Structure 1
Amino acid sequence: MMWWHSRYGVPKTWVSDNATHFKNQVLALLSKFMKAKQEFVVAYSPCLNGSVERVNRDVLQVLRAMILEYSLSYQDWVHLIPLVQADLNHSPVPSLAGRAPIEVLTGLPCPRPISTIFVPGYAPISVNTSMQTIEGSLAALRSSIEKMHQEVTDQRERRTLLNKKRAEGYQMVNFSIGDYVLRSRVDEKNQNKLLVTWVGPYVVTKCNAHSFTVKHLVTGRESNVHASRLKFFAESDLEVTEELREHIAAQGIVLKVESIRQHRWNEDMHDYQLVISWEGLEAIEDSWEPLKVMHQDIKVLVDAYVDRAKDEKLTTYYNLLKA
């Protein structure tokens, strides 16, 4: 403890479990003299202080593997501790925002493994030891370490939130611009039952804070969709073939009606048909749609068209349809 304090300074709080080598009169007296506060947590609790036990389990596994690899006696395991410790301290880990523990603690860059094999030539560097230079270097070091620690804290908070959402059953998604995704579409039937159908693929064109902007491959229309309404389809290097476009066009995409152009009576259907012009599609793709269906889907547009058409038979039939 004294060696640690003399090297790194006195921490304000000591956190440990209730083991006798932590909870005793000697350490209590030492913490009193050092003006530090002792806090005890439950042993082997992963949410409190279980990280050390978790690392020790990996250390034991590595030691067993190294003993077998180098054909050593199990009594010589103590000589392998420095190797394992150096590997743990100098290996970048995701929980530290991709940095090594030695870098987070000291601010020094982590040496590369290849540096033990290839040592490049270094030119002599003259160091300015003036007080102004030293103060500037210390300020830059403190700023760098504070920024690095903030990144580590943010990474841990994101990981904690992610674990909570996974435990609650949420499926986290992370799409990139250019990825191809499927979009869920809710179909409301006459029985008022909601059925979700996955349509697409769409291509992601923009990543927002809580949603993604996706573009339809046939119409080119873009729309903002929440991440929970999307699922992954393919990477950005997907080859969009003509067969894929035909498949997308044939899956019943939801289009917006641009206008109603004309009408006619269909004897086989015993119903009027309307020529619907779709927004985002060419005029050659206009289609004849039943009046009964269009009356349910776009009632306001149909009302306006019937009034504008000035067709007595159409008006009479439409009034009976609405009655």
Structure 2
Amino acid sequence: MIMAQSLFITLKNSEPDCHIDVLAPAWSLALLARMPQVAKAIAMPLTHGQFGLIDRIRLGKQLRPENYDKAIVLPNSWKSALIPFFAHIPVRSGYVGECRRSLLNDARKLDKALLTMTVQRFVALGLPPNAPLPPEIPTPAIVIGQDRQQAVADKFKLKPAAKILALCPGAEYGPAKRWPAQYFAEIARKKIAQGWQIWLFGSGNDNDIAMQINNETNGLCTDFTGRTSLAEAVDLMSLVDTVVSNDSGLMHVAAALDKKIIAVYGSSDPRFTPPLNAKARVISLNLACAPCFKRACPLYPAGHKDNTRCLTGIKPAGVLDLIDA
């Protein structure tokens, strides 16, 4: 959704008066509410992977009175093109995939060698079919007002220090994207000694790794994992100075908040989904086996000294150097 904002900005740059509504999963509405290009967010009533043909037809018919001129379908699935088709939207753009040419009347062929990044593929769909590629990529920019910052600080009874470091130690994808907890803890100890506050971000699934980091820092980190909504996490992150993160959704949020980021990459490819921020610094060993895009290390079993060495080989000292640079 953060990368999709580059598409929204592109559309507004070409047609400043265009009205953009976004049909998206309910969890992402907090992000859309912080994107000034979006006029209205519509919650998708179906969960990921759910077919729901009748529900898709019904929603398409409900959208007909909106009289949309164009639909841009970002997912490549057949079912994702059904709602714009049944909404009778006259121009329906998307990439060819899953035999859906009959549902799209502006079907584009995706050249993965030319459009190597996900965000490039999104932005290209907002341009004419004959536009030169790869396109220029506008930087995503989430807008957080001072009222939201104050409200979230009041709720969690915060007294922010002069310097705040956010650590995002989780990654829903799997262990091959998670830098070791003890490495995050070492970063935290060093910065605490220098007077920084350390805030831990993540979902409830990251409670254990956050607890380990906090245990190794004598409980001196503020742990927000599992305690916030996505909206609150975004507003809290707008208050920090620097972010150290795995390749995760929160990394992209931090980039859109224009934070200094040190992004740690293991099994994934920083050329495919990089943080879209000029301040971001990516650290990766670029091993011969990477990127493998596996959820767990395919070469060595858990517990082996070389398991996820693409991550364990990235030492805290290098990350600290980038924080201080």
Structure 1 length-normalised TM = 0.18
In our comparison, the structure showing a higher alpha carbon Rg is 1
Q: Which has the higher helix share?
A: 1
With a CA cutoff of 8 Å and minimum separation of 6, indicate the structure with the bigger relative contact order. Answer: 2
Q: Which has the higher strand share?
A: 1
